[in-house]
Amino acid sequence: KSVGKVSLEQIDSLSVRSFPPCMRHLHEALRENHHLRHGGRMQYGLFLKGVGLTLDQALQFWRSEFIRGKVDHDKFDKAYSYSIRHMFGKEGKRTDYTPYSCVKVILSNAPSQGDHHGCPFRHSDPELLKQRLQAYKVSPSGITQVLELVMGMHFQLACQKYFELTHNVEDAGFSLNHPNQYFVESQRLLTG
């Protein structure tokens, strides 16, 4: 499916079917808390940009969620819209930031308490990861396979295994190195 044709209404269902666990978790945390800290906004915001959200869609997406929490329109415009525009290269040095690769997510800027960014395979406590995989409807034997890869520090292979288990394929047929690649491959399988 081509990038650039995503509606905001689709994001909830896409997050369940086609987002890798790092992004699904960020989406759920955003919906639940009506807020994400800077690290999460960067990781998730750039991913959504890679999925095909336009700047206008991104502003609408973040604003509509944040104003359901402690932030009003005025505060959103003052404190957050700049950084979203920045992400799209419309402010500051006008760098057009690219979405983070798995290696970047795994190796830099580890999440601390209250953060939701990072890679669940790398940064979640194994018991929490297990619970999350259960909630995502991975079978007990599938969870065992994923956790074995995590124990061997094969985080991207663990994610690829999760992809195979949740898409009912024996072999993903690609070597995972980017959350947006995960999304594209998932859409390719699910929508043909």
Which residues belong to the annotated binding site for [4Fe-4S] cluster? 22, 102, 119, 159
Tokens of 138: 């991975």
Helix (H, G, I), strand (E, B), or coil: what is residue 133?
A: helix
One character per residue 37-56, x = contact with ligand SF4 (rule: CB under 6 A)? --------------------
Half-sphere exposure of 15 (CA within 13 A, CB side): 19
- For residues 65 and 57, is the Cβ–Cβ distance under 8 A? no
Cβ distance to ligand SF4 smaller for residue 80 or 111: 111
One character per residue 92-131, x = contact with ligand SF4 (rule: CB under 6 A)? ----------x--xx------------xxx----------
CB 48, min distance to ligand SF4, A? 14
Position among 14, 18, 20, 115 found at the interface with ligand SF4 (CB under 6 A): 20
Tokens of 123: 């940064």
Q: Give CA–CA dist 148/3, Å, rounded.
A: 34
Name the site residues for ligand SF4 (rule: CB under 6 A): 20-22, 102, 105-106, 119-121, 155-156, 159, 179, 182
